[in-house]
Structure formats: structure tokens, C-alpha cells
Structure 1
Amino acid sequence: METVESLSIAIIGTGFGGLAAAIGLKTRGFHDIVILEKADDVGGVWRENTYPGAACDVPSPFYSYSFEPNPRWPHRFSRQPAILDYIRTVADKYDVSRHIRFGTEVLGLTYDAATGKWTVALSTGAPLVVDVLVSAVGQLSRPAFADIPGRNLFTGESFHSAQWDHDVDLTGKRVAVIGTGASSIQFVPQIQQQVAELVLFQRSAPYVIPRFDREFSPRHHRVFETVPATELAERATWYGVVEGLSIAWVYSKPLSRVLKRLSKWHMRRQTKSKPGLFEKVWPDYPIGCKRILFSNDYLPALAQPNVDVVTERIREITPGGIVAEDGHVHNVDVIVWGTGFKATEFLEPMSIKRADGRRLTDEWSGGAHAYYGMTVPGFPNLLNMYGPNTNTGGGSIIYFLESQAAYLADYVTHIAATGTPLQVRPDVERSYDERVQQELRGSVWSQCTSWYRQADGRITTNWPWLGVQYRRQAKFRPSDYESVSVTGRLPELR
């Protein structure tokens, strides 16, 4: 029988999900843990995304672990350096850092029925063999580029916002930005002030509402430190606000209409100095279909004389610039891709094979699916953090990750007690997925094209209800699972 001491666990990734998983397991007494990280530092997306103005669009008192409040956040909506510092601090404080192998990329995973273990192929050489495998690579780790003819012909500088090239000086340059998502609305105001010309290619306009940010002064920090209840109140307040967004999309059309009116007032007010701009940036789809964006400086930046918003689709990219569908040629020196991530391509490009050789990509050929986003039939002892249908359209993903870490700890505790691997029952997972997809087909997210959806319309990213409902429902129940026989040993009789 496996024990807490002998059970070996590998976690892939050191972002918020990987740390939550490791801390949850260590709290239960599991310490034979190795965390595999291809980079040379912790942080996940907060290590990778260093573009100008990078910040979180969820207030930091809520976008942080409930067990590790930070009374010294510099801003309500913290910037990337502060968030990365927080992640580093948590990794050290909770004794996670010693488990991490940096510079180690996972190439593939194979389950062995004879041993009941996973073999992990690594970029560093010798494979790793473990009892339990936890993927915490997330949904937003692989940059996506629009499929535009001629993309590789451009002779100027070109890079994705998630791979920002800080060696490129944009001062006085003609810069094209492709995409108007969450990253673009943060870096566009920063670079607009230094470039000679900025051409923003907008395929679909986002709804923008005010960002109620503020700098936390030393006085705030003292109050948060000496009266922790004040920080808890700040967290609870913002939990209510961001969960209210989910309520608007899922349950309350009147609240949704209020938010739309707020967005229209804000966007019209911030574009009035430039005739015709509001008509370009006002969305033509239901509010909530794409994630609402918080900004006070994005629209004023678009209203500046050196900015042109182009709503024509891009026909092609040439060595010297971009050609729009109307034939207009935009000659530019630099192209910045603000085109998001391959959110629906879960766990790729890793090759993940179950005992009979079937790959997870084959299992997910019609779209990724997993029981509460965590377990897949036929893949014993493989769990996901921030897996399929666990994204939130309005809240904090860390709230979901803490729920998943608790689920993971219960799962691993159970297999340590029973001594046999577990896989989710196919009928249980199928029924769950049908219920989730049925709800999503009638949701606001089905009414436009976004990174939430696959090309065929299936929504594989979002949780269709409230965050609190996920927390209440996503509980490990042994009856949802079945033990997997291990041919190389007999299960212990109990």
C-alpha cells in the first residue's frame, strides 16, 4: 500500500496553480513532490508577460491566496512586478522552492499499467517516474498569432505581447498593434506616448468600464497589517463585485443592462474628443460574451492624434507593413501582436498517452473535457489545475485554483490510503460534461466569437455558473471514481 511518505507526485508549472497544488499537498503531509518548470523562475504568466503596463484586471486583495493575504500591495489592481514578487514570496514561505527543477521542460507523459505509474519524458535527459501527475500549465501559457497571409514576410521588428522584446526601442517608430484584448488595452496607452504613429487593427471591440484603481499608501499598509479585518473586508467587497459580473452574465439580464449602460457612458465620454471614434470602438455583440475590460486610459490613448483605429480586416502582411481589406497600405516599422493565447489547446504540445497508447489529444479531438476540469476517463492519477471549463468570465481564477487544490489533496489522500490508482468513471464524467455544455449552449458566451470557444462553437474554457457554485460542487467523492488494476502487483486486501 502507498503511504503519505512514499507516494511520489510531479507537478508541471510554477504559476498560481502549481503553487496552490504543492501547498495543498504539503499541508496534507505529502512531501515527495517534484515541480517541473521549463523557465528559470516561478510565476507562470506573471513571469512571461512583461509588456509595458502589464497588470491584473482583478483587484489584488481577491487575486491572491486566501491563506496568504498581502497587506502591502502597492495598488488595488497590482502590476506585474508586484504579482511576481508575491508568487516568489509564497514559494519560499511555504517551502515550495526546494521542490522545483528549473530549466526542465516536460516533453511527454506515458502511463504504465504494469506499475500504475506515470513516466515523464524531460528535456534534461533521464525520465521521471511518479505515482501522481498534476498539470498546472493553465489556459494562457501559449501565445496565439492570427493566421494572416505574409506574416513571416515582414522585415521589421515583430513580437507577441507575451514575448515582449524590450530591446526594441519604439521611440519615434511607426507601430502596428494587431488585436484589442486584455493585454492590448494595457500596453497601448503606454507605447502611444512614445511612438510616432500607432495603427491599431481591431477585429472586435471590447466593452470597457472604469477601472476603480488606487495606490495603497503606507497608511493603508499599516491599517491592513494592524487590523487584518480591514483587508478581509476589502477582499470580501471585491469578491462581491467580480462575482456580480458572473451573476449578470448567468442570472440577471437587468444587471447586465446596467453594466452595458455604464460601459456606454464611460466609452462615449472618453472618446468624445475624436469624432467617429466611439462608433468604431462600441461593440456589436451582447455584453459579457467576451470578458469586460477595465481601463481609464485605453480610450483616451486612442483619441490621440497619432493613433488610427482600423476596423477593416487585414488582407495580408508585406515586407514593409500591413494591407487592409480596403486596399489601404499601412507602412510600419514594428508589429506587436496582441492576439491572446491558445486557450482551447489544453496541455499541448505535451504528448500524453494512457496505457493502451491512446493520446489525450485523440480523446479531446472534439474538444477538451474533464470532470470539474480535473480528471479524464482512461488517464488514472492525472489531474489538471485550471483545466477545461474552469475559467471564470468575471471572477478570480485563484478562487477556483484553491478549490481544485483541495480536491487534489482529497484525491491523493484517498489513493495513498487505498494503494491503487483511480480514474473517473466514464459515465460520471460524460453526464457532467453534458450538463455543463447544455448550460453553455444557452449562455451569453455562445453569442459571439472569442477565445472561450473552439472553431465549431464548443466552449471548452468557461465554467457556466458562479464561482461559489464551483466550490460547493467540486468535491472529491470516491464513488465518482473506480480503482484501476495494476498488473505488476496485487492490490492490498483490506
Structure 2
Amino acid sequence: MAPQRRIRVAIVGGGISGIAQAVRLQEALGDNKAEVTIYERSNEAGGVWRDSRWAGAAVDVPIHLYCLYSHLNPDFSSHWAGRDEVLAYWKRIVAKHRLGDRFIFKVEFVGSRWDSLSQTHTITFRRVESGETFEVEADVLISATGALNRPITPKVPGRDDFRGLQWHSSRWNTDVDLKGKKIAIVGNGSSGIQVIPNIADLEGIEIVQFVRSPGYFRPKHNFEYSRFQKLVFRYVPFALRLYRWKIYYDYDYTILSRGTGTFASDLREKLSQGVVDYMKKTMPDEYHEALIPKYPMHCKRVAYDGGWLASLNKPNVSLTASPITRVTPTGLETADGKQYDVDIIVWATGFEVSETGVGLNHNVFGEDGKELRATWKERQGAFGYRGIAAPNVPNYFIVLGPNAIAQNWGWTLGHNTEYIARLIRGMYDRKLCSIVVKASIMDSYNEFLGNRLAQTSLSSAECGTSWYKDPITGKIVAPAPWGA
């Protein structure tokens, strides 16, 4: 009997999702059962952590919860590890599992088409430097592009007329000396509030921040782990796992406050009041109206304040909630008629999630010959099965698919990559050519999901827009309604 051939797996994305998925496949199938290739747009692995070069870039999930449960690290220096330490952790995993030769760099995904006759995906890539396209054939296609892969820069009139420097926060220009500069930070999401306290004390710098909406900002009390703690984590059996479980439990308990029942509502009120009290105590009174929200907590992502609110008390830092109406050659103009002349504009305006952050879908064609994007649009936004599978596209998995994010990024990443690897191992063991979720199961699951979402604060009418939702229809497409 001829030996069974290896399953050819194409992973699109070489960030932490792609790395984690490659590790799980290696664990589940070894090298003799699967041929895994990772296609990455940049020239090195790391994804969002490779690109996040702004001052103060760090995790907003405690690092021992953010890392893979199968690759715990007793030597992390602090509770909220910084960008360099996080990136080094993931690169060590690449080296440990000898994944370096699995990468093909500087190529971007163009499209894929499922062939029912050959039971394979024909995938088209483009070489970033030359623009040349090429095709590969794979038995399984995995989208590991992550939720934060396409920066959003607002289409503000006059943006191209600005004579100074401008960039998105995720594409930080590290060659520019910020001393003595007037800087506009547009946005008050995670990157915007991380960078300000880390540059506010530079000599001669002036910062004005433009915010669009209020939010809940929890205190981010960082601390370093002592040498003794690290030794305990390393040598005392189960110590690090128990510590991680404690963090996990605290996070999952907080997720309970998303519900609409009496207990959940009371818990949310208690947590909300604590956060608002902290915000009022920490920032200047003049910014209370602009920054304290009136919507229920958790219907938008709660951010962590590592010194931003306190930095608003500094004489060289100011904030305005008046909408930007246009960019002038020398700065920004707002709806209240004020002109702000600046040297640099930083667009800390987040990422597009509903179209590209919940899995490859443009030019992804399934067994019905229809583009996945079109299928999603017909249903008012992205949908799938258990956060990993898409409708009508066999042998296609998404590490962070529609409504995948439960509790936090780290837990979801570890859970979903293992789930996908087990499915592919099942295909190999049972000699299956393809698997796809039945339409009736897909519909039943999404009806259940919708009912659960409706019972959470995520669906609150007071919430308005957020990256959790499809910007056109308002359908919730990113988070799951449950914790871990």
C-alpha cells in the first residue's frame, strides 16, 4: 500500500496567529503528515508586534495570560510586558520549533478558489517587491492575518496638503526626533493612550490630542516580577499555571458583567463606577465631559490607562473633543473654528476589523462559486461557525474568525489554533478530502449566537459604533458573547 501523502497547509499571515497555528499543526501532525507553509507580507515574522514601534507599546492583557498555555515563560520581566519582550517571546517559539524555513516572506494574498474536482484550493499570491503573481495549490487554507492588520486613516479633507510629517501609530516613524516638536495625536484607543505618557516629558514637546468619543479606561498598574517570583514560576511545580489560572479567573469573572440579568447588571454598575471614579480622580475636571461615557461598560472595548489620564494634567498636553473638519498645510482645523498648527500628525485611529480582521474573505471563492465577502454581505456582515469556519468554503479555517474573541486575545488564540489542528488531524486520520460546515448547522449556530449576543451589553443601543461591529449594518462581528 502506498504511503498516505502529507496534507498541504497554507497559512496566510506570519504574526502570532500564524506562528501559533504552525506550532499546533506540528504538535498534532508532525512533519511527516503535514507540509505547512506560512506566507507573510513583511520581511520577518511577528505581525502586529513587529509593527508596533511607538513609545510605550505593550500588551493590554497580562503577559502570562497573553502567551500560549503550552509555552509558558517564567522569565517575563513585568505584568504588562513591553513590545520588545513580547516579540522576542514569539521569535523564540519560531526558533524552538524550527519554523524559520516554513516562511515565505514578502508575498501578499490575492485570492483563492476551491476546486471541487481536485478538492484543493488554488491560491494566488503577489510578490511585494516585484508585483509578480504566482499560484500554489493547497489542501487546507488557514487565515492567520489577525484582527489588527489593516490600519484606518480617516479620509479628512486636505490630508494630502499637510506640509509636516504624518503617519499611522502602527507604522511609527522611529527615525524622527520628537524633541521640540508640536504633535497632534488623533484618537484615544490603545495606541493613542499608550504613546502620550511615554513622550510627554521629552524636552520641548507639545502634544494636543483629538478624541472622537469617550470610553472606560481602567488603571493599568504595572509591576516587575522579582527574581524570587521568577524562580518560583520556574521551579515550583504548577506555580506558574496556578498564577495564570488566577489571572484567567479574574478576567472571566469580569466578562460576567456583560450580561443583562440582575447579577450581571449589578456587577457592571459596580465595575463601571469604580472605573469612572478613577478617571475623575486622575484627569483634569475640564475633560470629564469629553471622556466619561454614558453607555454601559463592555459594549465597546475597555482600554487600560498606563499614565495617560495623569499626563493630561501636564502643561504641554491638551485635549479637544471638537471634531476635525479638515487638515490644513500647517495642522488641523476643528468644528469649533480653532486651528491647531503642528509639526507632526499621528493617526492613532485603529484598524479595520469587520472586512479584513475576521478572516480573509475578499476574492475567497468556495464550493458554490461565490465570493465569501458577497455571502457575508447578504447576511448583513461576517458570520461563521465557532469563530474558525466560514460558510460554503471547504478546508478553510480562520484563527480569529467572526465572533471568535472570547475573554481575551491570548486565550482565544490558543484555543482556536488547537481546535483547527485537531480538525486537520481528524481529516488525515480518516482520509477525508474535505470538510465544511453544513448549512443547517451554520444557521442554527448563528441563530443561537445572535440570541446570546442580544442578552449582553454588547447589543446596547446606547453604544453607537465600534470596531466590534460592521460599520454599515451595526452587526456585531468580532467578539463572542461569552467568556472562556
TM-score > 0.5, shorter chain as reference: yes
Partner of 2:451: 438
Partner of 1:180: 188
Residue type of the partner of 1:360?
L
Q: State the shift of 1:205 in Å.
A: 1.8
Change (3 A) 1:321 1:92: same
- Structure 1's 228 and 146: CA in aligned 2 closer, same or farther, altered over 3 A? farther
- Give the deviation of 1:348 after TM superposition: 5.2
Counterpart residue number, 1:373: 387
Distance 1:106 1:253, change over 3 A: same
TM-score by length of 2: 0.91
Task: Tell me the distance in 1 between the aligned counterparts of 2:424 and 2:3.
Answer: 10
Match of 2:474 in 1: 457
**Within 2, Cα distance between the matches of 1:141 and 1:172?**
32
**Contact 1:2–1:418 under 8 Å retained in 2:** no
In 2, Cα distance between the equivalents of 1:402 and 1:223? 24
1:379 and 1:321 map into 2 onto residues whose CA distance is 47
Instruction: Give 2:425's aligned residue.
Output: 413
Q: Quick one: which of 415, 418, 438 aligns to 1:425? A: 438
Secondary structure (helix, strand or coil) at the match of 1:21 reads helix
Counterpart code for 1:453: K
Q: 1:5 to 1:81 in 2, by over 3 A?
A: farther
Query: 1:58 aligned to 2:75?
Result: no
Give ranges in structure 1 of 5+ residues lacking alignment.
468-494
Q: Does 1:27 align with 2:22?
A: no
Following superposition, the deviation at residue 279 of structure 1 comes to 3.3
SS at match of 1:309: strand
Q: Quote the residue 1:69 is aligned against.
A: 72
Pairing of 1:223-372 with structure 2 (within 5 A)? 223-250=232-259, 252-271=264-283, 274-346=284-356, 347=359, 350-365=362-377, 366-372=380-386
Q: How does 1:69-218 map to 2 (within 5 A)?
A: 69-124=72-127, 125-194=133-202, 196-218=205-227
Describe the shift of the 1:4–1:16 C-alpha distance in structure 2 as closer, same or farther (beyond 3 A).
Answer: farther
Specify the code of the residue in structure 1 equivalent to 2:452: E
Q: How far off is 1:228 after superposition?
A: 4.2
How far does residue 53 in structure 1 lie from its aligned partner after superposition?
Answer: 0.4
Deviation above 3 Å: which 4+ runs of structure 1?
1-5, 347-350
Deviation at 1:148, TM superposition (A): 2.1
Residue 381 of structure 1 contacts residue 422 of structure 1 at CA under 8 Å; is this kept in 2?
yes
Q: How many residues align?
A: 463
Cα distance, 1:275–1:381 mapped onto 2, change above 3 Å: closer
Cα gap change, 1:348/1:315 in structure 2, threshold over 3 Å: closer, same or farther? farther
1:35 maps to amino acid: I
- Alpha-carbon offset, residue 145 of structure 1: 1.6
Q: CA RMSD in A?
A: 1.9
State the partner residue of 1:42.
Answer: 45
AA of the residue aligned to 1:28: A
The residue type paired with residue 125 of structure 2 is L
C-alpha displacement of 1:224: 1.5
Q: 1: CA distance between counterparts of 2:315 and 2:15?
A: 40
Give the 3-state SS of the residue equivalent to 2:327 in structure 1: strand
Structure 2 residue ranges without an equivalent (≥5): 128-132
Kept in 2: contact 1:154–1:319 (CA 8 A): yes
* Cα 1:409/1:331, change in 2 over 3 Å: same
Q: Is the 8 A contact 2:362 2:371 kept in 1?
A: no
Contact 1:277 1:303 in 2 (8 A): no
Amino acid at match of 1:219: F
Take 2:268 and 2:48, find their aligned partners in 1: how far apart are those partners? Answer: 30
Kindly state the Cα deviation for residue 97 of structure 1 after the two structures are TM-superposed: 2.4
Q: Hey, what's the Cα distance between the residues in 1 that align with 2:219 and 2:149?
A: 27
Amino acid at match of 1:231: L
Report the Cα offset of residue 397 of structure 1.
Answer: 1.6
Q: CA deviation at 1:48?
A: 1.3
Which SS does the other structure have where 1:454 is aligned? coil
- Alpha carbons 1:11, 1:134 under 8 Å: kept: yes
Aligned-pair distance for 1:210? 1.7
1:370-409 aligned at under 5 Å gives the runs 370-392=384-406, 395-409=407-421
Moved more, 454-463 or 437-446: 437-446
- Alignment partners' CA distance in 2, 1:17 and 1:52: 24
Give the Cα–Cα distance (whole angstroms) in 2 for the partners of residues 94 and 41 of structure 1.
Answer: 16
Deviations 1:183-237 (A, max 9, x none): 1111111122225321111111221122132112333222221214221222111
Q: Structure 1 residues 454 and 170, CA, compared in 2 at 3 Å: closer, same or farther?
A: same
The offset of 1:2, in angstroms, is 11
CA distance in 2, matches of 1:3, 1:267: 64
Q: Distance in 2 between matches of 1:99 and 1:175?
A: 41
Distance verdict in 2 for CA 1:325–1:171, change over 3 Å: same
Deviating more after overlay: 121-130 vs 448-457: 121-130
Percent sequence identity is 30
Q: Report the residue type matching 2:476 in the other structure.
A: I
Deviation at 1:22, TM superposition (A): 1.5
